[in-house]
Amino acid sequence: MEQYLHPFEEAMELVQSVVGIDETAAASILAEIGTDMTRFASEKHLASWAGVCPGNKQSGGRRLSGKTTKGNPYLRAILCEVAWAIAHTKDNDLSAFSHRIARRHGKPKAIMALSHKVLVIIYHILRTKKPYADLGAEYFDQRDRERIERHHIHRASTTRLYCDASAKGGGLIPDTTRQKGFRWRGRA
């Protein structure tokens, strides 16, 4: 096996720079997609070919199905296996991504979304020949800090609470000035 992988040593090391991808998984992924990414016009074409891109069935302005497309079953299986391994790790951005999606949509959809994300990362790694740099588990929370603060202030205002950041220790204080049953519907 090693004699067949020897010409692809550089690509193997690049793919293994992603958390959760070991030597066997990297060999399987490279066996399926190859090392030359110029054959795919974009990462979207690769994801579609692999069968990990989200479906987009619409009729009458309504989204009917988000079922993934059919594709390469072997690549899809190894990507899902890698996604499960990543989901069980801690302190990296891919694991945090998986947990964020699983909270809203459930674990199976989170695994498929993570499989798609890993394949896009592998595409860019092989195209640019640069190893993957982990952004850290707190990356998304730091990036969206202002949006999250606005969200929580808005939620507090709809539940008849207001945020007093100037008070000692800050926190939420019941709003007794509003009439009973009145709900704030505007943006905070």
Tens digit of pLDDT for each residue in 57-116?
778 878 777 777 788 889 888 998 999 999 998 888 888 888 888 888 889 889 999 999
Residues 80 and 159 in one domain: no
Q: What does pTM read for this prediction? A: 0.71
Residue 135 CB: number of other CB atoms within 10 A? 15
Q: Residue 21 and residue 39: Cα distance in Å, rounded?
A: 23
CB atoms within 10 A of CB 94: 23
> What is the domain count for the chain?
2
Q: Is residue 138 part of a domain?
A: no
113 and 160 together in one domain: no
Does residue 151 sit in the same domain as residue 121? no
Range of the domain at 161: 145-188
Nearest to 20, CA basis, from 108, 91, 82, 79? 82
